[in-house]
Amino acid sequence: MATGVQQVTTPQVTPQIPTSAPIEREFTVKSRSQTQQALRRFMHNKLAMAALFVYVVLLLVSFIYPHFYRWTFDGQDASSLSVGPGTNGHPFGTDEIGRDLLARMMMGIQRSTYISVIFVLVAGTIGVLIGAISGYFGKWVDNVLMRFVDIILTVPILVAIIVVAANFPGARSPIGIALFIAILGWMDLARIVRSSFLSLREREYVEAAHALGASDKRIILKHLIPNSLGQNIPNPFNPSTTIRYSVSSAGPVSIRVYNAGGALVRTLVSTAHAPGAYSVRWDGTDDRGRHLGSGVYFYRIESAGGFRDSKKLILLK
């Protein structure tokens, strides 16, 4: 007897995706480095961009226009002595011996730029390295380097410049002046960086770097110096400033902030202090808590012994 087998075929059903349902997509957010964040904030600050535009124009005029200008900075026009602006082809006039003031102004901007750039590069490099080594290693290394700094601080810079300029005529060039000032001007930065390293070297990320086998050179260059500079270089686009100061003898200390006209706007500190290092943060407000506008301000530190320090603050918003 034959038995029939019936084959049943199951149709394949293709799932239909509703067209109205949104399709989830994977996306990533690109992170920005500290440099990119700083540049982004700089580009969005109108006052900073206006100042940069003026500065670039001055540099271009000072470095390029002298090649096409008819007068040189040391050339004399005997027919135009002490003339006013716009006289005899002199846009800014001349001095007592007939030298064109516009040409001399452009030369002055050139030399000022040379001196400032060389000073920042040389003094900044020396100060950061000395302060970093002193603060990181401590102990006898710190004592030796800081006593060396104290010795250099006793040298009067103005007198030293006069003596060197009188005995070494070659040092009177812009590069010579910049190098000499830089050699005698790195000590304050070294002390500031050292004080930052004394606290930063105890942080968790430094201990983690040690545990991972990082060398002292890598920890100093890759971790501590960037964090130290971030604390000590003022950020004009953040309306807050940290003021660091030290007290050698116990007594009352006051720190007050004044505007450009000399009016008191904020009292930050007015208490007795024990010897040690301190810091106070100013958030750009006055004594009533009102936010101040952009401008130039000064803070003044006073102690029982009288005036101690006064520095300028630039507040941009």
* Residue 25: inside a domain: no
If asked whether residues 294 and 270 sit together in one domain, one would say: yes
Instruction: Give ∠ CA 246-248-254 in degrees, rounded to 5.
Output: 55
Provide the angle, in degrees to the nearest 10, between the axes of the packed helices 174-183 and 101-137. Answer: 30
Indicate whether 260 and 228 sit together in one domain. no
Classify residue 154: in a domain, yes or no: yes
In a domain, 127, yes or no: yes
Assess if residue 111 is contained within a domain.
Answer: yes
Query: Which of 205, 232, 259 is the last residue before a domain boundary?
Result: 232
User: With a threshold of 0.75, does the pTM exceed it?
Assistant: no
Residues 62 and 199 in one domain: yes
Domain presence at residue 223 = yes
Q: Has residue 11 got a pLDDT over 70?
A: no
- Give domain status of residue 38, yes or no: no
Q: Which two tokens stand for residue 212?
A: 């991972």
> Residue 270 gets which letter from DSSP?
E
Output the pLDDT for position 158: 78
> Tell me, what CATH number does 280's domain have?
2.60.40.4070
Per-residue pLDDT at 149: 84
Distance of CA 181 to CAs 93, 130, 221, Å? Answer: 33, 17, 26
The DSSP output letter for 25 is -
Question: What is the extent of the structural domain holding 264?
Answer: 241-315
With a pLDDT cut of 70, the percent of the chain lying above it is: 79
User: How would residue 231 be classed by pLDDT, with cut points 50, 70 and 90?
Assistant: low
Q: Are residues 250 and 178 in the same domain?
A: no
Please check whether residues 95 and 220 belong to one and the same domain: yes
12 domain residue, yes or no: no
Do 219 and 290 sit in the same domain of this protein?
no
pLDDT at 184: 82
pLDDT at 96 > cutoff 70: yes
Last residue within a domain, chosen from 189, 214, 232: 232
Nearest to 267 by CA among 249, 247, 285, 251: 285
Q: Given this model, what pLDDT does residue 315 score?
A: 56
- End of a domain among 178, 208, 232? 232
186 shares a domain with 279: no
Q: What integer pLDDT is reported at residue 299 of this predicted model?
A: 81
Q: Measure the N-to-C terminal CA separation of the chain; round to a whole number of Å.
A: 100
CA distance 110 to 105: 9
Note whether 175 and 276 are same-domain residues: no
Whether residue 177 is contained in a domain is answered as yes
Average pLDDT, the chain: 77
Q: Are 60 and 192 within one domain?
A: yes
Question: 3-class SS at 313?
Answer: strand
CATH number for the domain spanning 92: value is: 1.10.3720
Nearest-angstrom CA–CA distance, 243 and 266:
13
Q: Return the higher-pLDDT residue of 281 and 103.
A: 103
Q: Strand, helix or coil at 195?
A: helix
pLDDT range class, residue 56, cuts 50, 70, 90: very high
46-64 vs 34-43: helix crossing angle, rounded to 10: 90
Do 279 and 212 share a structural domain?
no
| Residues 61 and 132 grouped into a single domain | yes
- pLDDT score of 237: 43
Q: Same domain for 145 and 206?
A: yes
Q: How far is CA 212 from the centre of its chain?
A: 32
For the chain, what's the residue count?
Answer: 317
Residue 230 tokens, joined: 């971030």
Cα separation values, 271 from 188, 245, 246, 301, Å: 26, 14, 14, 12
Short-list 219, 230, 310, 228, CA closest to 262: 310
Q: Identify which of 215, 197, 203, 47 has the alpha carbon closest to the alpha carbon of residue 130.
A: 197
Q: Encode pLDDT of 158-190 as tens digits.
A: 788 788 778 877 777 778 888 888 888 888 888
Q: Is the pLDDT of residue 236 over 50?
A: no
